[in-house]
Structure 1
């Protein structure tokens, strides 16, 4: 569990985060939702220690991270896996070497054979067991995301952070990446935090959702509660999609609509 308490962050005279308090639950996909410029990525950077909050504290499973001893912060960082928005693979390394990289950095006592077994396991888990020799330039966008996930979980991470994991992907690949993150989170009991503005991800994998607007947390809840939320800013955000508006209407009226793939959506 990750607890964020009263976190403020400004750049110069511009406040970005204004007293964020929230909890990210263990074994769940915790989504931070909001439009561009609402402070989502700044919050993530504060949580993982890339930025220092001006005010407030962050706790990982009962251990204070903010302003703690550097040795304690380093131990927590070793338990963090990160999936970057653009995958951030090393162009000069092949897939195997990219996934092996955090093991070489964080687990110096692991033997070469143990590293090989762990890399092969992680690549198989994301469906890329034969991709080890390939270079990043040979991969599709979806494959790069899968390699990024394999690299993030390679050191047996306790906490997984994903920054816009569906950015630049087609809708079908986005769903597959969401499903993979969801499966890994629940399979290994990871505390997963996902930065997103994608309502499809919310509907598919939103175990717990935090909504930010202009640096404030205005709502949190589950994917089953979000369509009935009474926060005006959240309603404006989620119902900006015509498909979500249609789905809500179906829910209210008990009708049926046809999607682009020909599958009917029925109300109860």
Structure 2
């Protein structure tokens, strides 16, 4: 579990995060939802330690991360896996070498044979067991995302952060990436945090959702609750998606049908 308490961050006097407090639950896909410029990526960078909050605190499973001793922060960082928005693969390395890279950096105690075994396992887990010798330029965008996931989980991460994992992907591939992240989260009981503006991902895998607007958290809940959330800014955001509008219509029609059946049965007694 990751706990964020009153995190604030400003740049040149302009506040970007305005007192964010939230909890990211273990074994769930936690989604940080919001439009462009709402502070999603800045929040992620503060949580993983790429930026330091101006105020507030962040704890990982009860251990303070902000302003703690450097050796404690480094120990937490070793448990963090990161899937970058553009995959961020090394062009000069093969797929297998990309996945092995964090093992070389973070697990010096592993032998070369152990690292190779771990790389093969991770590539097989994401369905790329035959792609290890390929270069990033030889694989598709969806495969690059899978390589990024394999690299993120290679060091047996406890916390997985995904920055817009569906960016640049077609709808069918996006669903497959969402499903893969969801499976891995539950299989390994990882605390997964996904930065997104994609309502399709919310409907598919949003087990715990946080909505940011203009640097503030305005709502949190589940995908089952989000369609009926009484927050104007959230309503405006989510119903800009035709898929969500369709899902809402189906729910309303189903509820209307049940009410009609109930009234009919009541009238016949």
Considering the TM-score relative to the shorter chain, is it more than 0.5? yes
- Aligned-pair CA distance for 1:83: 0.1
- Report the counterpart of residue 24 of structure 2 in structure 1: 24
- Report the counterpart of residue 225 of structure 1 in structure 2: 225
CA distance, structure 2, for counterparts of residue 28 and residue 105 of structure 1: 28
Provide structure 2 residue ranges, at least 5 long, that are not aligned to the other structure. 256-269
CA distance, structure 2, for counterparts of residue 145 and residue 246 of structure 1: 29
CA distance, structure 1, for counterparts of residue 48 and residue 142 of structure 2: 25
- Report the counterpart of residue 254 of structure 1 in structure 2: 254
Tell me the secondary structure at the aligned position of residue 16 of structure 2.
Answer: strand
- Does residue 1:100 correspond to 2:90, yes or no? no
- Report the counterpart of residue 263 of structure 2 in structure 1: none
- Report the counterpart of residue 186 of structure 1 in structure 2: 186
- The size of the alignment, in residue pairs, is 255
- Describe how 1:78-93 pairs up with structure 2 within 5 A: 78-93=78-93
CA distance, structure 1, for counterparts of residue 222 and residue 129 of structure 2: 34
CA distance, structure 2, for counterparts of residue 64 and residue 217 of structure 1: 22
Give the structure with the higher percent helix. Answer: 2
CA distance, structure 2, for counterparts of residue 104 and residue 241 of structure 1: 43
User: Taking structure 2 as the reference length, what is the TM-score of the superposition?
Assistant: 0.94
Provide structure 1 residue ranges, at least 5 long, that are not aligned to the other structure. 256-268
- Aligned-pair CA distance for 1:89: 0.2
- Describe how 1:44-63 pairs up with structure 2 within 5 A: 44-63=44-63
User: Taking structure 1 as the reference length, what is the TM-score of the superposition?
Assistant: 0.94
- Report the counterpart of residue 39 of structure 1 in structure 2: 39
Tell me the secondary structure at the aligned position of residue 235 of structure 2.
Answer: helix
- Report the counterpart of residue 258 of structure 1 in structure 2: none
CA distance, structure 1, for counterparts of residue 243 and residue 198 of structure 2: 13
CA distance, structure 2, for counterparts of residue 232 and residue 223 of structure 1: 17
Tell me the secondary structure at the aligned position of residue 26 of structure 1.
Answer: coil
- Report the counterpart of residue 131 of structure 1 in structure 2: 131
Larger Cα Rg: Structure 1 or Structure 2? Answer: 2
Tell me the secondary structure at the aligned position of residue 228 of structure 2.
Answer: coil
| 1:157-216: CA deviation from partner (whole Å, max 9, x where unpaired) | 000000000000000000000000000000000000000000000000001000000000
Tell me the secondary structure at the aligned position of residue 59 of structure 2.
Answer: strand
- Does residue 1:65 correspond to 2:65, yes or no? yes
- Aligned-pair CA distance for 1:242: 2.3
CA-atom RMSD in angstroms: 0.8
